[in-house]
Each structure stands twice: as C-alpha cells, then as structure tokens.
Amino acid sequence: MSYATFDHDGIRRVGELRGTTLIPLTGISEIGATTDSRVLSSAPREDTGAVPVDQVRLLPVVPRPAKIFCVGLNYRDHVTESKRDVPGYPVLFGKFATSLIGPYDDIVLPPESSQVDFEGELAVVIGRAGRRIAEADASAHVLGYAVANDITMRDYQYKTHQWLQGKAWDASTPIGPYLVPPDEVTIEDAGIRTVLNGRKMQESDLSQLMFSIPRLIATISAFTALAPGDVILTGTPGGVGFRRDPQVFLRDGDEITVEVDGVGTLRNTVRDGKQPVGVSA
C-alpha cells in the first residue's frame, strides 16, 4: 500500500491509495514527525470517505519535514559530466520545507534566474528516529520512498562555492506523489528517468548510486539525529541541462516528468513567474 498527503475541500488528510482512490486515515492530517510506519498501518480507515485521486490536490508527500538533506554527485556519470573528482564522502547540502511543492503543481520560474535546471531523484523518508545509525541497521529507519525533482537555479548555485542559494528556493521542489513503503518496491535497482517535453534527458537506475541509501543514513546520522518525517534526496544521474551542449534550461510551458520504477511519477508544468524583482511573493 502507498500513502499520500492531500487536500480535499480545504481539509488536509492522509490517505491510503487503493487503485485510483484515496481512503482517509482517521486522525492524521499529514505525513511527518508523528507518522511512523506503525501509525500509518494501524490508523483506522474511513472507507465511507473514499475520494478519487483526480478530485484532490496531492501535496508534498511530507509537507513539513524538519530536515531535508540533499546529496550531490552520487552517480558516476553525473560526476563525470560535472568534471569533478569522485567524492570519498557524500556531498551534502540542505533545503527547507518551504522549498517543497506537490507532485503535480506548476514549477514557477523565478524572475531572478535564467538558468533553471532539473534533477530527477529518489527521495527517502525517515520513519524511525536514530543517531549514529549503523549501515546494517539503516533500512529499519526508512518509512518509505517518493520521487523528487531537485530544481536548481544554476546561475545562483555557482555564485559561491556553497550551493544553498541555488538549491533552496521557495516553492521549487516537487516531491511525491506517494509514499511507497520499503516492502512494496525493490528499490536497489529501480530505474529512474527524467523526460522534458517528450525527450528523455536522464536515465539510470538506483544500483548506480555511489553512496547507498544505508550509507547515506549512517553518514548523516553521525552528525545529526534523524527523526520521522526527515527527507533525504539521494542525488541525480547524468544528463542535467547545465552540462549539456547546448545547455537546456526550463522555459515557460515546458512539461517535465520524473519517474522511479515502482515508486511513482512527478508531472509538472513550467510557468513564468512574471513577478518583478523586489516585489514580495
């Protein structure tokens, strides 16, 4: 079974996906800090409140994670196209909860950036708290998986040696559409691909991760405690727009999808923000 955080008639709920229908879970308004696997599996199902998926707005699968960790340079082909050395330790950076948007929401181009790029990724959602987690124990801390697109403003990313200003824009990062528990998918070699306007831009599989999911969990939990609802974006394959010749950046009207086999597909339309610099959002 898979789960979604959704809005229906102005009310936020969590639902279990059954076919094309969501069955609300009693007493749970979103996946996050209080929803470990036991809570999700044991919550009463409101079968009489079932609602078709096409009648709701799917929200970020975890709308308000306390921590979002992102991994750069985790596929060898992306390291090669970036003309960097293979890292011996994961390249880590952060995003904020305000960066997240729903799996089918529009990606709005900020007026400040002319180099908005795509990065299809697998997202890991933590379901069990821990600090200094051993790799051998890491899988027990995973609540489930989702799909993410680490939208990046390249002209801002490379203003400094730190990446934060290019990676953590508000309302820029789709994540979802569903939380798929670990026992529902064979994630180790699942395919991942990004398609822009019908053209395949990225394609790989999760066996190509240089730093595995257990190793990422062990590495991150060495310096900070992981908690339910925390999210790890595991890195993107080669094929990003910035490294192409000619370069490819997102433009108004583009349609972009990111798919991870067995986990789901993001589908987003790109829109021009048309908001002058200096005007509050």
Tens of pLDDT along 74-94? 998 888 888 888 889 999 999
The total of structural domains in the chain comes to 2
* Helix ranges (DSSP H) in the chain: 37-42, 76-81, 154-157, 164-167, 213-223
Domain range spanning residue 14? Answer: 2-58
Do residues 48 and 167 share a domain? no
The confidence score (pLDDT) of residue 278 equals 46
Whether residues 27 and 111 share a domain: the answer is: no
Question: Is the domain of 159 the same as that of 260?
Answer: yes
Residue 32 lies in a domain: yes
**Per-position pLDDT tens, the chain of length 281:** 899 999 999 999 999 999 999 999 999 999 999 999 999 999 999 999 999 999 999 999 999 999 999 999 999 888 888 888 888 999 999 999 999 999 999 999 999 999 999 999 999 999 999 999 999 999 999 999 999 999 999 999 999 999 999 999 999 999 999 999 999 999 999 999 999 999 999 999 999 999 999 999 999 999 999 999 999 999 999 999 999 999 999 999 999 999 999 999 999 999 998 754 444 43
Is there a single domain that holds both residue 42 and residue 134? no
- Taking the C-alpha atoms of residue 152 and residue 168, their distance in angstroms, rounded to an integer, is 8
Residues present in the chain in total: 281
Amino acid found at 261: D
Cα distance between residue 178 and residue 97, in whole Å: 17
Q: Which amino acid is at 110?
A: P
User: Does 278 fall in a domain?
Assistant: no
In this structure, the strands spanning 173-180 and 100-101 are parallel
Question: What global pTM score does this model have?
Answer: 0.95
Instruction: Kindly state whether residue 259 falls inside one of the protein's structural domains.
Output: yes
How far apart (Å, rounded) are the C-alpha atoms in residues 173 and 89? 25
Cα–Cα distance measured from residue 12 to residue 4, given in angstroms and rounded to the nearest whole number: 10
Query: Same domain for 77 and 53?
Result: no
- pLDDT (0 to 100) of residue 86: 85
DSSP secondary structure code for residue 110 in this structure: P
